[in-house]
Amino acid sequence: VGTASNGKLKASEWHSLFAKHLPLVSLEAFGSVCLIECTHFIKSKSITEDSCSKFDIYYKSYCRTSEALFKGISIRPNHHYAIHIGQLSQIWGPLINLSEFRGERLNGMLQSLSTNNLLGQMEGSMMKCFCQIQRLAHKKEFSKLSMNSANKNVNTHLTLEIYEVLYEHLKKTHPNLRDYREIPHPIGAKVLTRNVTKINQAEIQNRLQVSTKKPQNGVWWDCNGQRSFGFVIDIFRVPDLEDGSTQVVIKRTDLVDLRQVADVDFEWLPILSQMKVAVGVVAPDCYNLIHASSIGGQCLYQELSLGVIGNKFDLIGNKFDLVLWMAVELLTLLDPDPMELRSMVVD
């Protein structure tokens, strides 16, 4: 990763790597917990003097261990600059307010423009291109452009078991809804049939998409004041309701103390907590039916197979599959890349 043969990562990609992906493989590739904790500090929206002091401790620990782990590592100016982040954060406040991810993206757009390297004309070419983008964005059709594949809708019938669960669920918000078996029905009555339309994905908060396919099937939602995690199994619309209610079937994972299901060293518990990783057990036949709008967001996850985990410890009794959940929210998706959408229109 980040080598010349594999290409360089952008700043936002480095952030995602250390904030979300490395923590999930930490049991197999331990050694980055200090840097992960530093990354969480960098993106924090609120900080304290105590968190600033902890950043100094974690970063210095990272530097010391890196020197021992990676022989001949070169020390760069940025390594020294980062030592002062904790001190400067007490003056400036949360560094996320000073981040330049959007500016970096703008630089990437500018570099992607075709200018033929004609000095004196590049400025005009860039301005012309941005004006074209603005004129396209002003049109209503522009907002309908998407980089995602079309949603495939399939009409189907619910099983009686799922229908009964759906009916009881919808009765909470639609008290006048009637079971199709309760005949005869009054004129104008709202009747729930077993006809639904299955879809591949649904839009939730902050324009994020959830899907029945990996990796967009990992989600979290609020269940009686507690954050729950699970996998999207089915998504369907109910045509019998005026709002075309979109319902999501989720296979729930129960959060547990790692010591209850695996033989682990005590030191792993605070390490997972520092990296904002939650441990879940995939319980059999535990499903939740919720409205798509009730889903709080997507969650990255790492599934652990039965047996040995990272050659460190075994699952007790080998009865459950474990899932490591990244218990921090994904960032809101960026707007569709205007350059890519523009190329779609031109093509």
271-330 pLDDT tens trace: 777 777 777 877 677 777 888 878 888 777 777 654 434 333 344 444 446 777 766 554
Q: Is the pLDDT of residue 15 over 80?
A: no
Closest CA to 40 of 2, 85, 84: 85
Long-range contacts of residues 158-167, Cβ cutoff 8 Å, at least 24 apart: 158/194, 158/196, 158/236, 160/194, 162/249, 162/289, 163/192, 163/194, 165/289, 166/192, 166/238, 166/247, 166/289, 167/192
- Write down the number of H helices and E strands in the chain: 12, 15
Query: Do residues 216 and 295 lie in contact, with contact meaning Cβ atoms separated by under 8 Å?
Result: no
| Matching residue, tokens 């460190």 | 312
DSSP calls for 127-152? HHHHHHHHHHHTSHHHHT--SSPPPP
Average pLDDT for residues 150-174, to the nearest whole number?
A: 77
Closest CA to 110 of 86, 131, 127: 127
Beta bridge partners, 220, equal 229, 297
The pTM assigned to this predicted structure is 0.54
Angle between helices 49-69 and 85-92 (to 10 degrees): 160
Percent of the chain with pLDDT over 90: 0
Identity of the amino acid at 8? K
Per-residue CA distances from 147 to 74, 144, 202, 290 (Å)? 40, 10, 15, 27
Q: For residue 247, what pLDDT band results from cuts at 50, 70 and 90?
A: confident
DSSP conformation class of 24: G
Q: What is the pLDDT of residues 69-125, one digit of tens each?
A: 667 778 888 888 888 999 889 888 888 777 766 677 677 777 777 767 777 777 787
| Strongest mean pLDDT among 82-86, 198-202, 265-269, 307-311 | 82-86
- What is the DSSP secondary structure assignment for residue 262, as one 8-state letter? B
